Amino acid sequence: MIMTRNVALIVGGMGGIGRAISRKLAADGFQIVIIHKNTSAQEVASFVDTLEGKGHIACACDVTDVSAVEGTIKSIIEKYGRIDACVYSAIDTLIRKKIIELDALAFKAPFDVAVFGAHTVLKSVAPIMQKQKKGRIVGITTAAIEPNSTSSRMGAYIPAKYALRGLLREYAKELAPFDITVNAVAPGFVATALNNDLPQQMVELVREKNPMKKVVSPEDVANVVAFLCSDGASSLTGLSIPVTYGETMNL
């Protein structure tokens, strides 16, 4: 079945930010394909049913398994014939330790998902977009990698997200001649499951310290991602855009 509607692949689409992105892009008219790993089939089906429009699907896939990723992307192309936007939002569990306290396996785990997983997905998606001579790629990083960030005790999360940003930059350079844009969206603190271990007092402290006295929502992130996936953002590539209500400024 070849689709005329634009197809958006959301990797990590069952996370808090991933769900918001899926909802927003579905509302914007995209055919949504979610890649997830551990969410139950019932929960996935219930969420997909809430998306605006029809025909959205979800695929269980471990992004650290190269063969599984390649097979999943192949099946998506066989079904829809195209991938117009790819949003990479997958991340491993956040370990709140100092970097010096991590053993080799704990340090490596976030890289397996955030960096090597992203490369595996993008390496499969990029040739499809090159044939189409058009595409949008967005990676979700974090404002915690910005030089003025005071975030700490996040294990290898920050180094892995920094590496993802570098990976996206290289893809942006290589894919620009094919009218494919590649950008990063870097949210500040977002109250999702990734941060469920933090007390409510911490959320209020984040709000109080923010210049606009707000905490970033998944929908705030989704709105920026949706713009980067739109035709209106065709001139924007190789950028890292903070979504922080002023916590991170680069003017």
Active site amino acids: 157
Query: 206 and 189 in contact (C-beta within 8 Å)?
Result: yes
Q: How far apart are CA 141 and CA 164, in angstroms?
A: 7
Half-sphere CA count of 112, side-chain side, radius 13 A: 13
CB 153 within 8 A of CB 96: yes
Report residue 12 as tokens.
């990590």
User: How far is it, in rounded angstroms, from Cα 144 to Cα 245?
Assistant: 14
Structure tokens at 195: 């941060």
Q: Could you give the CA distance from residue 175 to residue 152 in angstroms, rounded to a whole number?
A: 34
CB 228 within 8 A of CB 236: yes
CA 95 to centroid of chain Cα atoms: 19
Q: Which of 204, 212, 154 is nearest to 220 (CA)?
A: 212
Q: What angle do CA 109, 113, 115 make, to 5 degrees?
A: 105
